[in-house]
């Protein structure tokens, strides 16, 4: 009796369906305004009932989050975007793709461990195979040989998703400086993943920061315009970003 609501919803829908068929039998094929209203109500109810469509999370530290959101916003427009645009202008797409692939390949341990933790054994072994092929034939991962020629697929997983798949909730919403939207769970996951992120073990620290910066700038160079589009389309960008992040994570966890 875990989901009495579902049964109820099922019965209601069934009832509506039956009345619907009866209406059909009565030759009321032309939709009356009343039927239309019913339909509207049905669609509305559906969106309200399905939690998957409208994930909501507590935002108890709203003022901190909003400050971080405003900070990241300024950082993007005054630093990250101009730098990434300049970088994009002088760097061929081929090179940018290569760098992207290189950093993606480096994150293999994160994907491998989290596929294992979620019991996705086939995907974990695929990740292992992709890593081996791309690190060798693909020359340190610059070329995604396995994906391109062996038709293998990566399965992006991280600890936040793993925790989510174990039915651990988001906790609350959290905006991190530089890193952007997150939740308590996902931030903890990020901290856990950092132990198996090779870049974090790079010495000296100048090289570590250099690599991290290049990765971030390179990634941004592929996404220039996305954030602007989101702001342009939304009425309240802070809420739109929060909701967008949660929906995106939810769909990743579901996969």
Partner 1 sequence: MYLKIMIPFFCFFLGFSHSALGQTTSKAPEIQAQSHLKAAVDEILAIIQDPQFDADSREQEQHLYDRAVELFDFETFSMLSLGKKYQSFSIAQKKDFVYYFSKLISQTYFDKLSGQEIQNIRIDYLENLPLKPKQNIFRTDILTEIIHGETKIPVTYRMIKNKGADWKIYDVKIEGVSMVANYREQYIQNMSQTPDDIINELKEKVKK
Q: Which stretch binds partner 1 (CB under 8 A): 15-23, 114-122, 152-160, 211-219?
A: 15-23
Longest distance between any two alpha carbons in the chain, whole Å:
80
According to DSSP, the residues that pair with 173 across neighbouring strands are 183
CB 181 within 8 A of CB 65: no
Give the nearest distance from C-beta 152 to partner 1 in angstroms: 15
Give the nearest distance from C-beta 18 to partner 1 in angstroms: 7
Q: Does 252 bind partner 1 (CB under 8 A)?
A: yes
Residues 93-132 interacting with partner 1 (rule: CB under 8 A): 93, 97, 100
Q: Does 26 bind partner 1 (CB under 8 A)?
A: no
Q: Does 70 bind partner 1 (CB under 8 A)?
A: no
Q: Which of 232, 51, 81 has the alpha carbon at shortest distance from 240? A: 232
Residue whose token pair is 């996705």: 120
Q: Which stretch binds partner 1 (CB under 8 A): 10-18, 80-88, 116-124, 199-207?
A: 10-18
CB 76 within 8 A of CB 227: yes
CA angle 93, 98, 100 (to 5 degrees): 95
Give the nearest distance from C-beta 251 to partner 1 in angstroms: 3
Residues 195-224 interacting with partner 1 (rule: CB under 8 A): 222
Residues 225-244 interacting with partner 1 (rule: CB under 8 A): 225, 229, 232-236, 239-240, 242-244
Cis ω for the linkage preceding 34 (within 30 of 0): no
Is the CB of 179 or the CB of 196 nearer to partner 1? 179
Write the CB contacts of 193 (distance below 8 Å, at least 6 apart in sequence).
Answer: 110, 114, 158, 159
Q: Which stretch binds partner 1 (CB under 8 A): 46-54, 63-71, 72-80, 157-165?
A: 46-54
The Cα–Cα gap between 68 and 180 comes to 8
Is the CB of 90 or the CB of 235 nearer to partner 1? 235
- Measure CA 167 to chain center: 17
Among 31, 132, 191, 207, binds partner 1 (CB under 8 A): 31
Is the CB of 122 or the CB of 233 nearer to partner 1? 233
In 10 A of CB 72, how many CB atoms? 20
The Cα–Cα gap between 202 and 207 comes to 7
Q: How far is the first Cα of the chain from the last one, in angstroms, to the nearest whole number?
A: 26
List residues near partner 1 by CB under 8 A.
2-3, 6-7, 10, 13-14, 16-18, 20-21, 23-25, 29, 31, 35, 38-40, 42-44, 47-48, 53-54, 56, 93, 97, 100, 144, 222, 225, 229, 232-236, 239-240, 242-244, 247-248, 250-252
């Amino acid at each position: 009796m875990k989901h009495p609501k579902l049964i109820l919803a099922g019965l209601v829908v069934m009832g509506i369906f039956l009345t619907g068929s009866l209406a059909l039998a009565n030759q009321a094929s032309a939709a009356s305004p009343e039927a239309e209203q019913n339909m509207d109500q049905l669609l509305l109810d559906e969106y309200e009932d399905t939690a998957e469509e409208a994930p909501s999370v507590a935002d108890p530290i709203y003022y901190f989050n909003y400050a971080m959101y405003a900070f990241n916003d300024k950082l993007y427009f005054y630093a990250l975007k101009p730098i990434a645009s300049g970088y994009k202008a002088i760097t061929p797409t081929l090179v940018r793709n290569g760098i992207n692939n290189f950093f993606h390949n480096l994150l293999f341990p994160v994907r491998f461990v989290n596929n294992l933790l979620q019991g996705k054994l086939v995907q974990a072994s695929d990740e292992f195979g992709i890593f081996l092929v791309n690190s060798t034939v693909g020359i340190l991962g610059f070329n995604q040989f396995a994906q391109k020629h062996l038709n293998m697929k990566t399965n992006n997983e991280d600890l936040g998703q793993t925790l989510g798949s174990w039915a651990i909730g988001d906790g609350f919403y959290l905006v991190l400086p530089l890193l952007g939207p997150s939740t308590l769970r996902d931030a903890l996951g990020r901290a856990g993943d950092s132990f198996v992120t090779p870049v974090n073990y790079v010495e000296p620290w100048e090289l570590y920061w250099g690599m991290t910066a290049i990765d971030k700038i390179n990634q941004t160079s592929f996404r220039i315009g996305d954030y602007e589009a989101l702001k342009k389309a939304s009425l309240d960008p802070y809420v739109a970003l929060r909701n967008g992040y949660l929906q995106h994570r939810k769909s990743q966890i579901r996969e």
